[in-house]
Amino acid sequence: MHLSLALDLPEVVSQPDVLRGADEEVEANPGEQTAGRHPEDLARTRPPDRRLQLEILDVHAAHQIDRSREGGPPGRAADGQVHVGHRPEALGELPLDAGAAEMDLGGADREGRFRSPQVAEPDLTGPRHRAAARQEIQTFDFQSSALELGLPEPDIVALLLTGRTLGSLGPETGGLAEETITSYLSGLTGELTGRVKGKAGFDVLNIDPLQVNAQGDPTTRITVGKQVTPDLFVAYSSDLGSTQGSVYQLDYALDRDLHFTSLRDTDGSIGGDFKFILRGKPPVLPGVAAAAPAPILGPIKVEGELRFKEKAVRRRLRVKEGRPRDRSVLNDGIDRVLKFYHDRGYLMADVDDHESRAPDGKVDLTFHVRAGPRVRIEIAGTRGAAGIVQEITPFWEKGLFLEDIVDQARAHIETLYRDRGFLKAEVTSEVLQDDAERVQVRFTVRRGPRTQADEVRLAGVQQIPEKAVRKVLRTTADGPFTRGLVRQAVLEEDAAAVLALYLSRGFPVASVPTPEVTLDESGRRAVVTFRVREGPKVTFGRPRFEGNRVFAAGVLARAAKIPAGGPYRVDELDAAVVRLRRRYDDAGHPDARITCRAIEVGPDAPAFALDPVFDIVEGSHQKVGEIHIAGNVITRDEVIRKALTVEPGAPLSRGDLQASQTRLYGRGIFRSVSIEPEPPEDDAGPGSAAPSAGAAGSPPDGASQDAPPPEGIVERDLRVSVRELPPVTQVFGIGYDSEEKLRGQYEISNRNIFGGGRYVGLQARASDLQQRGTLSYREKGILGGSYDILASAFGENEVRPSFDVRTVGSSIQVSRRFTRATRTLYRYSLKDVNLSDTSATFEGPTLRLSSIAASAVHDTRDAPFDPSRGHSLSGEVQFFGSALGSQADFVKMYAQIYRFKTIFPKTVWAQALRAGAAVPFGASKDGASLTCTESTVPVADSGVPPSERFFAGGDTTVRGFERDRLGDRCNGDPLGGEGLFILNEELRFPIYNIIGGVLFYDTGNIYRTLHDYSLADLRHVAGAGLRLATPIGPFRLEYGAILDRKAGEPPGEFFFSIGQAF
């Protein structure tokens, strides 16, 4: 994954190593252009204002706000570090406007040798110069401490995740993005699923526990989305614990506030809507000037070597005179133009823009287009040329010099074939034409035979059983059940896996170089040898601490939790450092600095026990002074104070500040939240120690040191600064659906009514089949801050297959999250249900339903839509009774268990068990009677109202039957029932690339009454299907065959859907 991060920097302190570059003036003196200048000359001509662009591989963002100062001088070293690899080689400072971030650009390879990251041409872009750059980094961990970019934290996170701020993502995308960022910062999102790619938008997870479903009941909704193109956004959502299908939505931005949305709803219907979004303005503090409006665009010019008609280029830009200038719109237009040229073979095309202020205040815009030569790439000597060309075209799009581009592409093609098992593959390149109009390059591939392993040997493996080492290897010898292919990439992965095994077993200096491959003369057979240099086995001894005065060594040892006698592991030490920092932080030492000394041992040393040494700089003991709140216009001060987990006089803890910030973000009413300690009057710096009685060094182990001494406490005031979101939003829509036909909708919401952090929203939609209105109220942090509340009132008319139903109701839900995986919900609901046009004659139809319910969810899945491990448990109990005003008496229970386990690489065994029972009592116990055309004799029916019965059948339950068609029917329509039982067994496995397969077995039934409930009366379905992996979940085509087919039933059903069945 590549993420482009651009930061405006006033100065770059470290001198970059310039290998080769091209510097071009773009404003003045267009005739003076130089290329291939001497590195020192190019480095000396850096302009004072520049942009640093980094292309980062494998991004892992860990958000931790720890800003101890406000507005420090430029060049001051920060606590934020960018770590690359596991061990530092070189540290440098990257000064920003109000702080600095330490850049650790070193790392260790598998053999333990230090190496530097690959650095190609640096990016030194200023107002008068252009230069291209790439900085390749393997791992990116971002922990911000004193980093101040002048942006709110949601914008910083959005910038890290997408390359764009929230404000530049557009209305529909920005709405979900804003919710996602808020959820991420507030801890509602357990993880960031999938891979995040710059300019690709969000592959992230949004979990909203306060939503109302189509039946008017509160629900928890999970949504994931992806920005496919600058104008096309794809979202996929599902209600947690629901047996209904998921919603798949495509949103196309016709304009900033006008969108076309196409969706597949839970009932399988497909429709589209035009939506106009009207947003309120963000609140502005009195006496503070509002942000200046964006300047208006004046004349727009397109210059340069276009090679196409100017009209065709302008059509892709979509930038018009007279509109406000929007940087994201300009960037998206440039992206479309570049794609236009790349698709037509101009792979080295480049586009930039230049703005100039006109006397009338407008901005004149000029786009400079350099189409470059048309590139023709030929692949000779092999099949699949189109796929290879697609693989190597990015080298032309990003490169500067043709000879380097060709050499990188040639090496990449060789790697592709060697990764497929053609170890003797050779690729030659030839530049057939190179001029201003055309570049033609031919690559000739001699792939040779595929190599298979006769034997896989392990050399040097002595202290770990050979069987355990072979278990982590993917490379195997040729045999009856294995092909034994020798792939270059797999060999490297195997070497890394063996090294990881040794490191986890306590061999810190073990090394595993790239394995040796000995080929025979034909190149078809090989012997693969993994050579392991184990080094000594090191175990943990007793931890030692230096510099500690506040806590005794015994207290710190218990906090560190180093497993004495266990294998020496770096991750254990890292975890211990985190625990020790938390111990000091909880005690009021937020600036404590703790490091563990690096191990120094030779590869030939004997096994020994190592006492890890932790160096501690405790810093001053601090407590919270006064709390000052700023920036809130609508929100009342007491609402903000209520969300804080800190109070005056308490120990100052970064963890508490982060928890307070998390809770404020969780209110959903703030664009940004900053909680920072004010600098004390006599600031000795973050590393200073507090005055304390007693000599330096560790106190005796027996001393009572669980609480810090009171001497030398520094009191620091807190400043809570917020920026509020616009409170009011309106949406107007009109559309068409395959089931509902013509439909319309209107929504209006206020997320901060009366400044209390409360949400009130009204949604209305109408069609021939359904008319619905919903008024909802949400408030977070009630009853001491631990509970959230959701209330709704709704009215609905709906035409369903077996009956028409008119429903009016209301509900109130209180929920509480105990852990990231566990949440409980309590609900009261009241519904008036009126049935008409029923296919069966019901006696005593129920008009009013009133219930109380309790439910719990425990979810440990690694991904909500396509999990590979973990489980999900949920259950709910509803009580309907006359004591609550209900005209039907019954208890409805439902439980489901999902379990996922990876049994082979990329092969998942998925299981689901769902069971439900509705137990009527009192007046409803005897049930009703109905008459069907299939029988003239009335038969006993359930005493549970049809609207509350269980239904099953379809692509998410038992896949041999149509939706809701499992169980008894009357006049051809499903009756539903009081009992439900469904068991699913599914094997998901890879086939090729993004194509996967599935084998499944579904069994279950719907029982009209509980007297009919019997596991001997299950229906059985077996089937298979294909899955096409996409960023938002798999597209799936499946066929389920009924194994116990009855007369009049079809043999099975085909299903095409999106997302996993469960």
Domain ranges of the chain: 2-228, 297-370, 374-446, 452-531, 538-600+607-617, 621-682+712-724, 800-1058
Candidates 207, 208, 199; CA nearest to 170 is 199
Residue with tokens 């029916």: 941
Closest CA to 779 of 818, 814, 828: 814
Torsion angles phi and psi, residue 643, rounded to 5: -85, -15
Q: Of 741, 771, 744, give the one whose Cα is nearest residue 214.
A: 771
C-alpha distances out from residue 708 to 34, 189, 548, 584, 589, Å:
65, 35, 11, 9, 9
Cα–Cα distance for residue pair 629/597, rounded to 1 Å: 41
Q: Give the type of residue at 683.
A: D
What 3-state DSSP class applies to 649?
Answer: coil
Res 288: pLDDT: 63
Type of residue found at 183: S
H helices of 126-170, in order, are 153-162
Distance (Å) of CA 963 to CA 268, 389, 639, 958, 986: 9, 45, 47, 9, 19
Pick from 907, 905, 866, 1059: nearest CA to 997: 907
The token duo for 918 is: 């509705």
How far is 184 from 174, CA to CA, in rounded Å? Answer: 15
Nearest-5° angle of CA 543, CA 549, CA 553?
25
Decide: 899 and 910 in contact? Cβ < 8 Å: yes
- Alpha-carbon distance of 1056 to 1062, in angstroms, equals 15
Sign of the dihedral defined by the CA atoms of residues 670, 675, 681, 682, in that order = negative
Distances (CA, A) of 687 to 70, 445, 455, 547, 590: 17, 60, 57, 12, 10
Which secondary structure element, helix H or strand E, spans residue 906, and what is its range? none
Radius of gyration (Cα) for the chain, nearest Å? 33
What integer pLDDT is reported at residue 939 of this predicted model? 56
CATH topology classification for 538-600+607-617: Ubiquitin-like (UB roll) (3.10.20)
**Residue 534 pLDDT:** 92
- Rounded Cα distance between 125 and 534, Å, is 48
Q: CB-based burial of residue 556 (10 Å sphere; 0-12 exposed, 13-18 middle, 19+ buried)?
A: buried
Looking at domain 374-446, its CATH superfamily turns out to be membrane protein fhac (3.10.20.310)
Pick the closest to residue 814 from 803, 823, 802 (CA basis).
Answer: 823
Dihedral sign, Cα of residue 944, residue 946, residue 948, residue 954:
positive
Q: Which 8-state DSSP code applies to residue 967?
A: S
Rounded-to-5 percentages of helix, strand, coil across the chain: 15, 40, 40
Structure tokens of 82?
């960018």
Angle at 172 between CA 171 and CA 174, to 5 degrees: 65
Same fold, 297-370 and 374-446: yes
> Contact 251/240 with Cβ under 8 angstroms?
no
Pairing of strands 525-531, 452-459: parallel
Give φ, ψ of 821 to 5 degrees.
Answer: -100, -15
Helix residue ranges per DSSP H, 587-704: 637-643, 654-666
SS3 label, residue 116: coil
- Per the CB < 8 A criterion, the answer to whether 116 and 128 are in contact is no
Pick the CATH number of 452-531 from 3.10.20.310, 3.30.70.1350, 1.10.10.10, 2.170.130.10: 3.10.20.310
Q: What's the burial of 166, exposed, middle or buried (CB within 10 Å: 0-12/13-18/19+)? A: buried
Q: Say which CATH superfamily domain 621-682+712-724 falls into.
A: membrane protein fhac (3.10.20.310)
The answer to whether the CB of 106 falls within 8 A of the CB of 81 is no
User: Domain 800-1058, what fold?
Assistant: Porin (2.40.160)
**AA identity, residue 624:** V
- Strand pairing category for 140-143 and 59-61: parallel
With CA atoms as reference, report the closest residue to 559 among 540, 536, 577, 541: 577
Q: Which amino acid is at 488?
A: Q
What torsion do the CA atoms of 27, 28, 30, 34 make, to the nearest 10 degrees? -90
Quote the tokens at residue 162: 């997408």
Q: Which pLDDT score is estimated for 223?
A: 62
For 214, half-sphere exposure in the C-beta direction (CA atoms, 13 angstrom radius) is: 17
Burial class, 249, CB count within 10 angstroms (exposed 0-12 / middle 13-18 / buried 19+): buried
Q: Tell which residue, 668, 640, 635, has the closest CA to residue 779.
A: 668
Angle, in degrees to the nearest 10, between helices 402-419 and 488-504: 70
What phi, psi does 502 have (nearest 5°)?
-65, -40
The residue behind tokens 């690096």 is 598
> Cα 777 vs. chain centroid, distance in angstroms?
28
The matching CATH number, chosen from 3.20.20.150, 3.10.20.310, 3.40.605.10, 1.10.10.10, for 297-370 is: 3.10.20.310
Q: Residue 192 is encoded by which pair of tokens?
A: 């960031």
Q: Which two tokens stand for residue 827?
A: 């609900």
**Residue appearing with tokens 């995308």:** 173
How many whole angstroms from its chain centre is CA 369?
35
C-alpha to C-alpha distance for 529 and 515, rounded to whole angstroms: 6
List CB contacts of 506: < 8 A, sequence separation 6 or more.
537, 538, 539, 566, 567, 568, 569
Using CA atoms, how far apart are residues 1057 and 1035, in angstroms rounded to an integer? 6
Q: Please, are residues 274 and 258 in contact by the beta-carbon 8 Å criterion?
A: yes
Which residue reads 């297959």 in tokens?
801
Give the pair of three-digit tokens for residue 479: 């045999």
Instruction: Give the integer Cα–Cα distance in Å for 922 and 730.
Output: 47
pLDDT along the chain (1062 residues), means of 10: 34 38 37 34 32 29 28 31 29 31 30 29 31 32 33 47 44 40 38 30 44 54 63 66 59 80 66 83 71 85 93 92 88 92 93 91 93 94 89 88 92 94 94 92 94 94 93 90 89 94 93 93 93 93 93 93 91 92 93 88 82 93 93 91 90 90 85 87 46 39 44 86 90 82 89 89 88 89 80 85 79 84 88 71 64 91 80 92 89 94 88 94 71 55 82 90 86 85 94 90 92 89 90 81 90 84 82
